[in-house]
Chains A and B, each alone.
Chain A
């Protein structure tokens, strides 16, 4: 049984001019446990919306998302929040670290809504991403590469089954991007988590064996392209 099964997923937004715009229209998508898949797509193709739907941040208009045997659309919002906290790790392009929290507190907060805050485990995770000496630093005191590593540690904090990475190297230089990506992939492998990454960067995509063009999965992207 795959970790993630998606069928007939549809999400439509109302544009400022009042027209309905379908952003995601995925007939079928599956992700095996521990798999590492990269979705290739241009900006505006609906990749982030797709990840938000998988994470339960957005509610689809129709369709099914079954994550780890639980059907997302059948869950109410608090249950989706809980599932997200315990099952999914999310890495954002802009890191989305809380600026008023230290590195350690950012990771602890990631745990708080899931398995529960565990200071020792948080410290271990930060050491693992090479930030054992920056536990009490605030994000503004770190380089962008270091901030991304904190975000990786936070995403892994609850030992998730699925890590969603949205353009995770978009804000990094080549060297940091390469190192960061290697770290994410290695950490997911070691923790037995599946990785679903979206990117439009050829350099990033080149490091994956399993690359799927998002336009092939998302019918809405194809229609957009035709328009």
Chain B
């Protein structure tokens, strides 16, 4: 109990340096934990998002671009494929469901995607979960200028059933490029925490026949989402061979998760740089504990001498300094969790706004255990040098004045 009292008193006596050092630790710990957690969660989430499909078929080009465009509604389309290509893949005996997508327009920066009602009625974006419209809304009629808004897009654009809007040409909002067609919002989707939440869904023909679009491409589609029949994994290989190796017109991005994993592999260096920065910050913060305590050792030596004169053992003052260093790190780490929460909420918000993918700030990650453990241990070790100095304090010399 005495030793904790000594530690507590010392922390209070050096409150400013304690708080500043603890804040450094908090920042380092928060950064380390959030970098790790965001990296792992985003990797797991992005490679897991597939809207319930196994593959994407699109124009010849990059598989990654195709997946980002058709699944995450990011990036531009690599090009179009003909209606007959769509029919071919839909009629393939190994394919359970093929849903065409057409892109090329937006409303105030939120992408309009043309599709069929199969996406809502037949596809499961997660096991047992369909995209559903919040009652009393309904799905669009394929032949009418109607739209169903994703929950995030509806909230951001302030859209509700009955509202009307004019689409704008292109994927980037430019108010000079307004189309003359008027669309009516007939439903808002239940939040699905998928990229679909950021999209305004309209009938396929709506995009295909929008004024100003090339009439020769009026039956083309931008991509086809493909779900293979259960137990036909071999079909994926066959289609991969057919479209990617034997053919040269189309690209078959399969499996979707692997394509995304390749993206994360390519971005691995960035993770490592971020991780390195976090480790360096942790190291600097640990060094600040050492510097903070070490610099105050001259004023502490008299106190240490008094404690020793009162009967405190060398090991007691040694341990008190070590504990103080570890306590600063522990206080810092407690604040680090707040830092972590703030960083994660901000990053999760940004990722959601940009991609529609939702990260969970409260989701457990082992880094939440090992990072605090590591920093508190490092903090304790940082106290080793001043602790040795305390251990060696010459009591008689520091109990001035002498006669």
Contacts and interface: CB of A to CB of B under 8 A. Distances in A.
Interface stretch (B119-127, B237-245, B392-400): B392-400
Interface in B297-324: 302-303, 306-316
A136 to B, nearest CB: 14
Contact of B310 (A43, A48, A85, A94): A85
Interface stretch (A105-113, A140-148, A172-180): A105-113
Contacts of A78: 313-315
Interface string A78-112: 10011011100010111011111100010001101
Contacts of A93: 401, 403
Contacts of B403: 41, 43-45, 47-48, 93, 166-167, 198, 200
A190 to B, nearest CB: 22
B311 A114 contact: yes
A68 interface: no
Given A81-B311, A86-B311, A57 B395 contact: yes
Interface in A108-142: 109-110, 112-114, 117
Interface in A177-227: 198, 200
Interface in B8-62: 9-10, 12-13
B319 to A, nearest CB: 13
A200 B2 CA distance: 36
A58 interface: yes
A100 B402 contact: no
Is chain B's binding surface mostly helix, strand, loop or mixed?
helix
Nearest to B3: A112
A86 B314 CA distance: 17
A52 interface: yes
21 contacts: A52-B395, A52-B399, A57-B395, A57-B399, A81-B311, A81-B312, A82-B311, A85-B310, A92-B399, A93-B401, A96-B399, A98-B307, A101-B9, A105-B9, A109-B2, A109-B6, A110-B310, A112-B1, A112-B2, A114-B311, A166-B403
Interface of B: 1-2, 5-6, 9-10, 12-13, 302-303, 306-316, 395-396, 399-403
Q: What 4 A-B pairs are tightest by C-beta distance, nearest first?
A: A85-B311, A113-B311, A112-B2, A100-B13
Interface of A: 41, 43-45, 47-49, 52, 55, 57-58, 77-78, 81-82, 84-86, 90, 92-94, 96-101, 105, 109-110, 112-114, 117, 154, 166-167, 198, 200
